[in-house]
Amino acid sequence: MEQPPGFTDSRFPSHVCKLKKVLYGLKQAPRAWFQHLSHFLIRLGFTCSRSDPSLFIFKRNSCILYFLVYVDDIILTDNHSATIQTFISRLNDEFSIKDLGKLNYFLGLEVTDRPTGLFLSQTKYARDILARADLLDSKPAATPLATTENFSSHGTAYSDPTHYHSLVGALQYLTITRSDLSYAVNQVSQILQAPTMDHFQAVKRMLRYVKGTLIFSLTFSHAPSSSLLGYSDADWARCIETCRSTYGYSIFLGGNLVSWSAKKQPSVARSSCESKYLALANTAAEIVWITHLLKELHVIPPTRPTILCDNKSAIFLSQNLVSHKRSKHIDIDYHFVRELVSSGRLYKKFVPTTLQLADVFTKSLSRPLFESFRDKLRVV
């Protein structure tokens, strides 16, 4: 460290300035800020969520207040307007804050509140990505990936890997509200170390798809029930080089999509049944976490969660406690789903493949099927 130019003290040329206050730049600064904020909230009667450390909950009689923080950006909501105004005044006395009013923009997410429901979109962010890629005037594509797309690490290397990394990283953030892009982004993210021209062409097709769906948003509507329903699926040996399967899930709360994922499994499955069973375990883990979060939010589901799977063998394996040569090699931590089923905390049902919404997270689909699943995922 050294003194800033023009502020050097001739008496102490080797001294540096003392840093009294900082929020950005130092590793310990966010920790110190969060510790100060959390202690203040706890003194006011808030409790820190165990499921999400950035969420604080206040409950007194029928009044409930949620406080969600991301560094110094805060979302605050409750069911009692007088209480929230009192708390904002207390917060303003302790910190220098700026009340931006009703939520409409947060970390690149655009929030639109209508009588018919809540809409989350990233239109401005998506348009910025297209401008960066110089594809604002490109011809839109109907789907993110072609149905015949099979990625391989062999091929002509792309000349500008940094540009490729930048576009893929931007698309990853876009999947916060665009679940229809999850599988495609997962595929192009697996070859970041050495992208080829084929991978770059796939990224360009995805951006052309975004061009045609700029105004699409994730929709949340008022639901009479808060039941949890999950779809779980896996495409066995999807990767042609590692023979690993791609699995995905989508979880709905009262008919609204609240969680989804598309990932490659960490180990090679010996059968389609095994790959779908491992996918069931990961989906069950996510449902358990959501259940704990809902209990902390004082929104307890009226019925036990349900997982829908299109493989009867995987469903039987999760209910059968007998170990045999076809399943004894599966890691013990995946078998916890059996305990959830046997204890009555989780219910599993069969669903036909044509109605398996998680199928869109495991493979590239034809346009009619893709658009049908996209609508059911409430990306409209």
For residue 326, the model assigns a pLDDT of 59
Instruction: Please tell me the predicted confidence (pLDDT) of residue 274.
Output: 83
**For residue range 237-280, what is the model confidence (pLDDT) as tens digits?**
877 778 888 999 999 998 899 999 999 988 888 788 888 888 99
* pLDDT, tens only, 13-65: 888 877 777 666 777 778 888 899 999 999 999 999 999 999 999 998 888 99
pTM of this structure: 0.85
> Concatenated DSSP letters for 210-233?
HHHTTT--EEE---S---EEEEEE
Q: Where are the domains of the chain?
A: 28-101, 120-212, 225-376
- What strands, in cross-sheet order, belong to the sheet with 105-106? 105-106, 109-114, 117-121, 218-220
Q: Which residues of 323-346 are buried (b: 16+ CB within 10 A; e: fewer)?
A: eeeebeebeeebbebbebbeeeeb
Measured distance CA(309)–CA(349) in Å, rounded: 6
C-alpha pair distances (Å), 12 with each of 16, 92, 115, 229, 327? 9, 40, 65, 67, 72
Tokens of 222: 């008022």
Closest CA to 131 of 123, 143, 141: 123
pLDDT at site 23? 63
* 168-181 per-position pLDDT tens digit: 999 999 999 999 99
Residue among 95, 251, 83 at smallest CA distance from 69: 95
Distance of alpha carbon 15 from alpha carbon 237, whole angstroms: 62
Q: What is the spatial distance between Cα 65 and Cα 59, in angstroms, rounded to a whole number?
A: 6
Q: To which residue do tokens 């207040």 refer?
A: 65
| Integer Cα distance of 191 and 300 in angstroms | 41
**Are 37 and 90 in contact, with CB atoms under 8 Å apart?**
no
What number is the average pLDDT over the span 132-136? Answer: 91
Region 319-330: mean pLDDT is 63
How far apart CA 377 and CA 380 sit, in angstroms, is: 8
Span 80-94, average pLDDT: 86
The CATH superfamily assigned to 225-376 is Ribonuclease H-like superfamily/Ribonuclease H (3.30.420.10)
